Each structure stands twice: as C-alpha cells, then as structure tokens.
Structure 1
Amino acid sequence: MHRIDLERVTLQEQLLRFTHFDANTAWELGCRLRHKAFERQQSLVIDITVNGFQLFCCAMEGTTPENTDWARRKRNVVQRFQRSSYAMGLHFSLKQVDLMEKYGLPSSDYAAHGGCFPIRVSDVMVGTVVVSGLPQRDDHNLVIEVLCEMLHQPIEQLRLP
C-alpha cells in the first residue's frame, strides 16, 4: 500500500501545479478547503504560505493549538524537501528511517505526516498548503480533492486508491 500511495502522490505532485498563484488564489483555495471541511463536519487548521508569508490561516471550531503545531511541522518538511509531507512519510517508512536518524531533524520541528502539499507555479515551488485535524491520509486526500477541483484535474485518476 505504501508503494502504491507513493506512486500516486508522485503523480499528484507532477500534475497539480498552478500557472499563477497570488493572494486571491490562496484565499480561494483556503475557502474551498474550509467549506468542504465544514460540510463534512470536520475540524481543521488550514494554512497557506507563499514565499514565507502566510496568506491564509483558519482554525475551525474543535481544533486546538496542537493542530497548529502539526501544521507548522508538516510545512517544515515540505519546505525542506519540496515534496508533500505524506510522500516524505511514505518514503521514510519504506526506507525504515526517520528524519532525526537520517537528517538530524527533530520531531519537535518536523513531521513527515500527510496534510501538507507543495504549491508550484510551473516547476517552481512557491509555497505550501497544509491542513491538520484528520488522520494523515484524510488530511492529504482533502487537499488533493480541492486542488483537483481548482486545477480542473480528474480526481478519479489522482485520488489515493
């Protein structure tokens, strides 16, 4: 299952790219994520950061500061490796190593768990979108679902099996 998910996430990372991304795009993405979570009665922290500048942040009813910290730690992984946090978690699980062992990165600052995805404009990573509050695979799937809608990509081909 890990290998299948990792292959699918790699495809997601290749196809889910913007032609432009600005504050208005961040607002739309954040609002779409919040709306989906609200409809499903899910509690999330949502964060969209571009070039180190937080453009969207929302802590929904039922979240705690722990969710915000998870979001920060996931974002750090994506900024460091320029891959989704779920892809990195799968990669390290398959290699049977962790971030501290391999790179000296403490778990207090880095979390290779699903929910953070790189925002790319063409081939350049410009930021991150992260959600925290659900099980990691569900966090990842929610981000992918909304990105597919915004970027007019077929969710059937990109959804995790």
Structure 2
Amino acid sequence: MAAAHPVAIDIRRHNLVLFRCVLPGATADQEEWIRHKAATTLRFERSTDLLAEEFASKDYDPTQGGWLAPADYTLAGGSYPVRVRNAGVVAAVTVSGLSSDDDHRLVIESIRDYLTTEAV
C-alpha cells in the first residue's frame, strides 16, 4: 500500500532514527509531521489517533493553553507505539503524507501484516 503513495515512514526511539523510508513525491515538510507525531506517541505511549479521539471527546486540545508545545507535538494520526513484552514502549512507527486517518491505517495494516506473516 505505501509504495503507491508519497509517504515518509519512520521508526525512532526518541531522537534516534532506527529506520527511515521516503517514497517519491514525499516532501521535506513530512519530517516535521513525523517528529511531532512520534514525540506525542513516545510521551504518552499511545497512538496519536487514539489520543486525538480521547482529547476530542473531552473537547480539549493539549497543544493549546501551555501544556504541550505545538512546535513539538501534534494529535494528527499516523504514529503508533512499538511495545515489547517486559520492556514497554521501545519506539514509535510513524507515517506522514496521507490524511491522518490514512496515515494511521497504513501503520496499523503494516504492523498487522508483519505480525501475521513474519513474526514468530
């Protein structure tokens, strides 16, 4: 699915990039989206899509009012925590380049595919 879209894909542990793939058509602006999404996921240890839903249900935006700096965090979908048994969250997988929902869907479908075909 990713190959047909101009997306950037990133796996990182805080500021250490473990994997990066930038497909044709992706822009430099997507690096900033990835950085913000991954920072949010790593801080809260939850997907940005889930956090966006939770904060929306409370009618609250934590990037307004001084809690989270909008220059560093976002609630746009597309970042998901990598959780390892007995270790906790070790990284964030993040996609940027599509709509928030489609970025999230791409991450989830890719992880699901990996777990059902590759993971032992």
TM-score, normalised by the number of residues in structure 2: 0.88
CA–CA distance in 1 between the matches of 2:5 and 2:14?
28
CA–CA distance in 2 between the matches of 1:128 and 1:145?
15
Which residue of the partner structure matches residue 66 of structure 1? 29
Q: How many residues align?
A: 116
Decide which of 89, 113, 136 is 2:52's aligned counterpart.
Answer: 89
CA–CA distance in 1 between the matches of 2:109 and 2:66?
31
1:100 aligns with 2:63: yes
* Structure ranking higher in strand proportion: 2
TM-score, normalised by the number of residues in structure 1: 0.67
Decide which of 95, 104, 108 is 1:140's aligned counterpart.
Answer: 104
| Unaligned ranges ≥5, structure 1 | 1-35, 154-161
Summarize the Cα distance change of 1:97–1:127 in structure 2 as closer, same or farther, 3 Å threshold.
same
Judge conservation of contact 1:52–1:127 (CA < 8 Å) in 2.
no
**Structure 1 moving runs of 4+ over 6 Å:** none
Superposed CA offset, 1:97-117 (max 9, x none): 112346621222101111000
Aligned-pair identity (%) = 35
Which residue of the partner structure matches residue 43 of structure 2? 80
Summarize the Cα distance change of 1:107–1:51 in structure 2 as closer, same or farther, 3 Å threshold.
closer
